[in-house]
Amino acid sequence: MEAGLFGGTFNPIHNGHIRVASHVKQQYNLSKIFFFPSATPPHKTNTNLAPARDRYAMVEQSLADMNGFYASDIELSRTGPSYTIDTIHAFEKQYGPNVRFFLLMGSDAFFDTPSWKKYKAIFLAVSIIVMPRCANGQNLTIASFLDEHISKGYTWNKEKKQFTHDRLQSIYICHAPKIDISSTMIRNRVEKNLSIKGLVPSPVEEIISKRNLYL
Ligand code: ATP
């Protein structure tokens, strides 16, 4: 079985997350995708961070009716900062050798990986599917990024849209449409009392309003 791992702050989850993940699921024929909100994001010193349990509830309720999409609280049950490499190992341990995992990342998160704990171990452990992202302020190409920050040994396979390496796992470039929605946009709209209809699943609207989040 092949499954996706999709981590994020999900502060809150929005339709951009869901649409790109649906595209990836179909394009790479993944049986399941696990969305795992991070409890204490090591990178986002966000002043408007909703409680982890609210962010998890928004993910869980948004995915409830979606086939093959699951919410995982794996990072919420650990104490201290959430590191992706630990989560990958925990999933591998739980599901055993018959499941091949792919890590899903927007291009902004992908370019940020060199600041993550043991980031090279991530490239050794799992294949990564990179999803295009609007206006992420990065002019680097993925090829020069890999060359400069990860390893010089990657080869581009144009037909498969995949970088391969003889020691590290492949990097897949997903051609999902760019969707211009971010959690920052949602939080800003809530703060200004603007509608977020159509930008987030309806349970997210309900939880934000009930719990007075992002005001
Ligand atoms: P924020 O605006 O607070 O930075 P975000 O919208 O980037 O949040 P995250 O929870 O940080 O959301 O993102 C989790 C993962 O989803 C990251 O890999 C990110 O790149 C990816 N992602 C988020 N929104 C999109 C989008 N619209 N298209 C593609 N990938 C996305």
pLDDT at 196 over 80: yes
Q: Which atom of ligand 1 is nearest to 108's Cα? A: 20
- DSSP H helix total and E strand total for the chain: 8, 8
Q: Which atom of ligand 1 is nearest to 107's Cα? A: 20
- The pLDDT of 96-107, averaged and rounded, is 96
Q: Are 141 and 166 in contact (CB under 8 A)?
A: no
- Mutation probe of ligand 1 site: the residue of 15, 49, 183 with most atoms within 8 A of C-beta: 183
What tens digit of pLDDT does each residue of 107-147 get?
Answer: 999 999 999 989 999 999 999 999 988 655 454 689 999 99
Q: In the CATH scheme, what is the code of domain 2-180?
A: 3.40.50.620
Q: What's the 41 CA to ligand 1 centre distance in angstroms?
A: 13
Q: Which atom of ligand 1 is nearest to 178's Cα? A: 28
Residue corresponding to tokens 């902004």: 108
184 within ligand 1 shell (Cβ under 6 A): yes
187 within ligand 1 shell (Cβ under 6 A): no
Name which of 20-29, 48-57, 77-86, 130-139 the model is least confident about: 130-139
- Mutation probe of ligand 1 site: the residue of 14, 15, 17 with most atoms within 8 A of C-beta: 17
55 within ligand 1 shell (Cβ under 6 A): no
Residue nearest to atom 16 of ligand 1 (CA): 106
Percentage, residues of the chain above pLDDT 90: 83
- Token pair of 206 as six digits: 């309900």
Q: Percentages helix, strand, coil for the chain, rounded to the nearest 5?
A: 35, 20, 45
181 within ligand 1 shell (Cβ under 6 A): yes
170 within ligand 1 shell (Cβ under 6 A): no
Q: Is the peptide bond before 12 cis (omega within 30 degrees of 0)?
A: yes
pLDDT of residue 137: 45
Show me where the domains of the chain are located. Answer: 2-180
In 97-201, which residue ranges form alpha helices assigned H by DSSP? 107-112, 119-125, 142-145, 183-191
- Mutation probe of ligand 1 site: the residue of 133, 134, 189 with most atoms within 8 A of C-beta: 133
> How many Å apart are CA 15 and CA 21, to the nearest integer?
10
Q: What's the 106 CA to ligand 1 centre distance in angstroms?
A: 6
What tens digit of pLDDT does each residue of 139-150 get?
Answer: 468 999 999 999
Residue nearest to atom 19 of ligand 1 (CA): 106
pLDDT of residue 43: 63
